Amino acid sequence: MSWVATERFEARPAPAGLALVQELVNTHAVERDGLDLLTDRASAEEWLRGAAREWARSRGLDFPELSLLQADLEALRDLRAIVEEMLAVPAGDRPAGMAGTPVGVRQRAQVNLVSDDEGRVSMVPLGTGGGWLESAVWSEILLAQHAGEWSQLKLCREPGCRSAFYDTSRNGSGVWHNVRTCGNMANLRASRTRRKMRTPAHDSGSEPANPQGISPS
């Protein structure tokens, strides 16, 4: 098993459970690489079960038993849209560390806090379907904001892509989910634009009228 949605874009996965947040965003459709995994209940449920197993493995917790109701589907898509919106904010402008007194509660999710024999505390999401995913996603966002990892989860700059990737560049300057695909496309576009801008200069009259030197007959 693996993070199937993220893997199809060959994006660098976020560490541990934060990859679940990235995985949710990457269920979206990208013309070049794949369909929307949340189009119907069956495909969404299959994705959710696989992602939950992968998440549980990454956190050393038991696999949750999940099933999805038709009504959950809309909630999953809404949650994806909210996370996308949060990731569209430039990394430097995102919240990090402790939240202050909330001025308005936008989302609620429930978790159990459990500790092991050594006193290590884990957050265990509650719920059996869409609610479980909401709990897990918000838990991971909280942990990432406290660990300083939240600003490294980004959306690809390529307008037709917008896949989520984890930026491990030293100065946090990564903008493409994959430099070989989206990075190359952008470079090609840029060089084409440069060429186009140079072309009118050649037509400005400085070129010889008969560059091949062929005499008119």
- Footprint of Zn ion on this chain (CB under 5 A)? 156, 158, 161, 163, 177, 182
* 6 or 163: CB nearest Zn ion: 163
Residue 101 has which token pair? 């007194």
Q: Position of tokens 């660098």?
A: 12
Residue 185 has which token pair? 């496309």
* 83 or 156: CB nearest Zn ion: 156
* 135 or 181: CB nearest Zn ion: 181
CB of 186 to Zn ion, least distance (A): 9
Q: Position of tokens 């007959």?
A: 217
CB of 158 to Zn ion, least distance (A): 4
* 58 or 163: CB nearest Zn ion: 163
Pairing relationship of beta strands 111-115 and 153-155 according to DSSP bridges = unpaired
What distances in angstroms separate CA 55 from CA 15, 16, 18, 81, 211, one per listed residue?
11, 7, 9, 20, 66
CB of 109 to Zn ion, least distance (A): 29
Neighbours of 78 (CB within 10 A): 13
CB of 170 to Zn ion, least distance (A): 21
